[in-house]
Amino acid sequence: MNNDTTYAMLVQSEEKGRSIMETAVYALLGLSAILSILQFAQQPDRVPTTLTTQAYEISDTAQRS
């Protein structure tokens, strides 16, 4: 008589190819997350100088009136 539990049978019948594929997918997800973070970290900070200059000119002319 075989007294294996359902859990033991599931563990024994695990697909070996699936675990390799899952590992590859998780590795690619992690790598893509790291690369996207590095991409944004390397971008220089660009402050639009035209907006600050225009705002200064508008407030400066409003004070003169």
pLDDT tens column, 2-59: 667 888 777 777 676 778 888 999 999 999 999 999 988 887 777 666 655 555 566 5
Q: Is the pTM of this model over 0.75?
A: no
CA distance 36 to 51: 29
Domain range summary for the chain, segments of one domain joined by +: 6-64
CA distance 13 to 5: 12
CA atoms within 13 A on the CB side of 35: 6
Alpha carbon 23 to chain centroid distance?
Answer: 18
| SS3 (DSSP) at 45 | coil
CA distance 3 to 21: 32
